[in-house]
């Protein structure tokens, strides 16, 4: 194992490396990206406005919108062979 500068001992592996798999391979276009971007924008505006105007309901609504946007990450992606939403001649 590599050592840290100054002889502090071996570098320990990252705890959540099993959850995060960095990859440089291209996965294709993300069909949910416009929804994720909209959820980020709307959620951020709600949280900031709710905090500024002291509206707790707006803060919680913003957090809920941000959570929905985050959960879109886990929806299954379309496979390369899917032709369900393509026009048929």
Give the pLDDT of residue 73: 85
Q: Is residue 81 part of a domain?
A: no
Q: Is residue 84 part of a domain?
A: no
Give the pLDDT of residue 28: 74
CA separation for the pair 37, 21 (Å, rounded): 23
Q: Is residue 82 part of a domain?
A: no
Q: Is residue 65 part of a domain?
A: yes
Alpha helices in the chain (DSSP H): 33-53, 56-71
> Which residues constitute the domain of residue 59?
33-74
Domain count, the chain: 1
Question: Two tokens at 37?
Answer: 């971007």
Q: Is residue 7 part of a domain?
A: no
**Per-position pLDDT tens, the chain of length 89:** 555 555 555 655 555 555 566 666 776 788 889 999 999 999 999 999 999 999 999 999 999 999 999 999 888 776 555 555 555 54
């Amino acid at each position: 194992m590599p050592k840290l500068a100054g002889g502090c001992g071996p570098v320990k592996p990252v705890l959540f490396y099993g959850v995060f798999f960095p990859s440089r391979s291209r996965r294709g276009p993300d069909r949910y990206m416009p929804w994720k971007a909209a959820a980020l924008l709307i959620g951020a505006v709600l949280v900031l406005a709710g905090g500024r105007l002291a509206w707790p309901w707006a803060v919680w609504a913003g957090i809920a919108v941000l959570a929905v946007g985050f959960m879109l990450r886990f929806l299954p992606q379309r496979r390369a062979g899917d032709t369900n939403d393509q026009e048929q001649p």
